[in-house]
């Protein structure tokens, strides 16, 4: 689950001395990924603290990047953002190509039913939550986490938005609908008001345990124990009702960023903490619409707008951020040798750019 902001550019040939690079995760990133999983805390289902699972997650990502794909299937693409000066992995982000094809992908859908009686002149709209698998086959943005000291200057925006540039460059690998589950309300101990009500009436396990089991792929208990019929929201505790569709404070920047990209909330919430799920069609995502390809020219760029830059590679995918002067109505972009090297590009190659 997901976002924060990148670095202040000190001009020298159009690039900063500090550069943050996005790249696919590698096997030797395991220690950093384990630390990130430990730091992420409760509610971050996609990164459970489980060494075997994290090892498999990295191996699956490496296989996905190397795979020849004509349509989205069970691929998972995991990226890291690296400080090129210290070589420290500062955070991670991922894309699931098509959810729910192997394991059921559950949500509650918030809708209304009408109770009315013409005889008694009674008309009442009541909110209900219905268990569903409506997002089966959709592409999911997930596993977005940035370490505290890097949550500044646009790092989080780059880490989140570069996924849209990757999706645009490789559209055959992804579905038309893209979704993101946002972390819901829970306290520092992992207690979720929404789950507490479910636990009391249907389960005998706390929220961190249920969340962890889902993260390691043991989801059968959901089908076995989750209520099969719609839940009337007004029968929940007041505390549970209050958090439906609400995001965790640490996730608020993430949902605002996604809204600015064109994502909307259409009534789907997480089955554990009732956090909102937002969605968008690929063609409506802002970064997908505005990003454009330019031919690389190596030279001096005087700087200007803060731009996201990426190559169009798979295993060698790279993305970064820099202040660049962009000439309108041109098919070229001037970048420094340092940026070209970081993005594994040479003069004449194609580069994708988008304003941050």
- Residues carrying an active site annotation: 248
What domain count does the chain have?
1
Tell me whether residue 192 is in a domain: yes
Query: Can you give the pLDDT at residue 219?
Result: 62
CA dist., res. 139 & res. 18, Å (int): 33
Q: Is there a domain that residue 147 lies in?
A: yes
Q: What integer pLDDT is reported at residue 217 of this predicted model?
A: 64
What phi, psi does 174 have (nearest 5°)? -135, 160
- CA-wise closest residue to 292 among 157, 175, 168: 168
In a domain, 255, yes or no: yes
Number of Cβ atoms within 10 Å of the Cβ of 224: 7
Residue 283 domain-assigned?
A: yes
What is the domain extent for residue 271?
A: 20-112+127-290
pLDDT at 212: 66
The whole-number pLDDT of residue 216 equals 61
pLDDT of the residue at 46: 75
Distance separating alpha carbons of residues 223 and 238, to the nearest angstrom = 26
Q: Is 228 helix (H, G, I), strand (E, B) or coil?
A: coil
pLDDT given for residue 4 in this prediction? 32
Of the candidates 247, 281, 241, 233, which has an alpha carbon nearest to the alpha carbon of residue 111? Answer: 233
Which residues of the chain are modeled with pLDDT < 70? 1-18, 41-45, 207-208, 210-221, 223
Q: Encode burial over 182-205: b for 16+ CB neighbours within 10 A, e otherwise.
A: bbbbbeeebbbbbbbbbbeeebee
> What does the CA dihedral 174, 29, 7, 292 come to, rounded to 10 degrees?
-30
Q: Is the pTM of this model over 0.95?
A: no
- Report the DSSP pairing between strands 305-310 and 350-355: antiparallel
Decide if 99 is inside a domain: yes
Question: Quick one: pLDDT at residue 225?
Answer: 72
Q: What is the Cα–Cα distance from 43 to 182, expressed in whole angstroms?
A: 10
Q: At what angle do helices 30-40 and 51-66 cross, to 10 degrees?
A: 120
Q: Give me the phi and psi of 33, to 5 degrees please.
A: -65, -40
Confidence at residue 297, expressed as pLDDT on a 0 to 100 scale = 96
Is residue 310 a part of any domain in this protein? no
Residue 340 confidence (pLDDT): 96
179 bridge partner residues: 140, 279
In this prediction, residue 90 carries a pLDDT of 96
Task: Look at residue 228 and tell me if it is in a domain.
Answer: yes
- Closest CA relative to residue 77, chosen from 319, 255, 279, 269: 319
Spatial separation of the C-alpha atoms in residues 301 and 298, rounded to whole Å:
9
Query: What's the sign of the alpha-carbon dihedral 339, 341, 343, 347?
Result: positive
CA atoms within 13 A on the CB side of 163: 32
**Angstrom distance (rounded) from CA 337 to CA 12:** 11
CATH code assigned at 99: 3.40.630.30
- Reported residue count of the chain is 356
Tokens of 320: 């970064």
Residue 107 lies in a domain: yes
- Token reading at 147: 């370490």
Determine the straight-line distance between the first and last CA of the chain, rounded to whole angstroms. Answer: 21
116, 123 in Cβ contact below 8 A?
yes
Q: Which SS3 state, helix, strand or coil, does residue 196 take?
A: helix
User: For position 218, what pLDDT does the model report?
Assistant: 64
């Amino acid at each position: 689950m997901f976002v924060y902001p990148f670095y202040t550019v000190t001009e020298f040939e159009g690039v900063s001395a500090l550069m943050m690079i996005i790249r696919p995760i590698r096997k030797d990133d395991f220690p950093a990924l384990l630390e990130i999983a430990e730091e992420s805390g409760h509610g971050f289902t996609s990164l459970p603290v489980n060494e075997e699972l994290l090892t498999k997650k990295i191996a699956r990502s490496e296989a996905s990047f190397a795979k020849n794909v004509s349509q989205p299937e069970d691929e998972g693409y995991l990226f890291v953002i690296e400080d090129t000066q210290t070589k420290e992995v500062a955070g991670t982000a991922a894309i699931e190509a098509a959810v729910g094809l192997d394991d059921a992908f559950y949500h509650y859908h918030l809708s209304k039913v009408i109770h009315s009686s013409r005889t008694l002149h009674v008309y009442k709209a009541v909110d209900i939550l219905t268990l569903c698998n409506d997002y089966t086959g959709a592409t999911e943005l997930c596993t977005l986490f940035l370490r505290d000291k890097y949550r500044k200057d646009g790092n989080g925006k780059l880490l989140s938005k570069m996924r849209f540039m990757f999706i645009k460059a490789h559209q055959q690998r992804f579905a038309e609908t893209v979704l993101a589950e946002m972390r819901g309300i829970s306290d520092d101990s992992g207690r979720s008001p929404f789950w507490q009500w479910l636990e009391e009436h249907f389960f005998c396990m706390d929220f961190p345990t249920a969340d962890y089991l889902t993260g390691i792929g043991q989801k059968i208990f959901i089908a076995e124990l989750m209520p099969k019929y719609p839940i009337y929201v007004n029968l929940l505790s007041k505390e549970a009702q209050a958090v439906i569709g609400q995001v965790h404070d640490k996730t608020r920047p993430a949902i605002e960023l996604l809204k600015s990209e064109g994502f909307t909330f259409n009534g789907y919430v997480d089955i554990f903490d009732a956090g909102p799920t937002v969605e968008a069609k690929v063609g409506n995502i802002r970064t997908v619409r505005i990003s454009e390809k330019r031919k690389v020219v190596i030279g001096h760029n005087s700087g200007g707008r803060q731009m996201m830059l990426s190559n169009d590679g798979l295993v060698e995918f790279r993305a970064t951020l820099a202040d660049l002067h962009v000439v309108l109505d041109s098919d070229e972009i001037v970048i420094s040798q340092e940026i070209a090297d970081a993005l594994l590009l040479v003069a004449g190659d194609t580069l994708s750019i988008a304003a941050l």
